[in-house]
Structure 1
Amino acid sequence: MKKILVINGPNLNMLGKREKNIYGDKTLEKINASLNVLAKSKNIDLEFFQSNHEGEIIDKIHNLNNKIDGCIINAGALTHSSTALHDAIKSVEFPFIEVHMSNIYARKESWRHTSLISPVVVGTIQGFGEDSYKVALDLI
């Protein structure tokens, strides 16, 4: 059985409550539950981790080196600002797929148009809401 970590970064615990016009009305818990059903049908064991703290996310990545088969990551705003997260992803042996519920290149804020982690992940899936996670699960 494949073991995959799903990381959600800062403010993603607020899904279903914030900017529903961008992210929809489903909570992170509901998205995770739906993803878990899909994973079980594919014989994949998922572990979910959400943190609003960059260091906790980095520690989680480091601590799971050689213990998982891959990671799906929605780093939230850390995508655009964290060289430390870039380096953490680069430092481990398992593959990452970057996901975003919105299309970061279609967002109004120009600072969202850059991903510092894209150069160190296998691929990026964005703009498909919660389905971005499901597509990543199919591909990892």
Structure 2
Amino acid sequence: MSAKRGIELEPDLLDQRIKTLAELGDLTGDLVATASRLAERLPRLGTAPPAVHLALRLREAAGSSGLAGEVEATEREVREYKQMLSEAKRKYEEHESQAREDLRAAEESAATAGPDATGRPGSPRRSS
């Protein structure tokens, strides 16, 4: 960012980021499904009490309070960030469009008002 130029924003690059976030959200959704399936199964570690206990702990770690829950929260955050970025881009484009319209209207107004209305130095002035 420069004090003279302000912020430069390239909407096409934002579109690429939004598309990438959408793909990442889809992949994360697939990972949530895989982690959930993993949590549904009890690992076959044997029937000895320590093995059963370990299998239950592994299943719990993969469940909604463990891996599946963490991945699901990540998926939600990625989708929310994508939505936020899409909304920011939309607002930016609306603002740019409005600024162009305002500038065009100001130029048309100055053109119809004559050279004195431009406020440019060296413009011929009418004498009263």
Q: TM-score, normalised by structure 2?
A: 0.22
Q: Which protein is richer in strand relative to its size?
A: 1
Structure possessing the higher radius of gyration over alpha carbons: 2
Q: Which protein is richer in helix relative to its size?
A: 2
Q: TM-score, normalised by structure 1?
A: 0.20
Greater relative contact order, per chain length (Cα 8 Å cut-off, separation 6+): 1
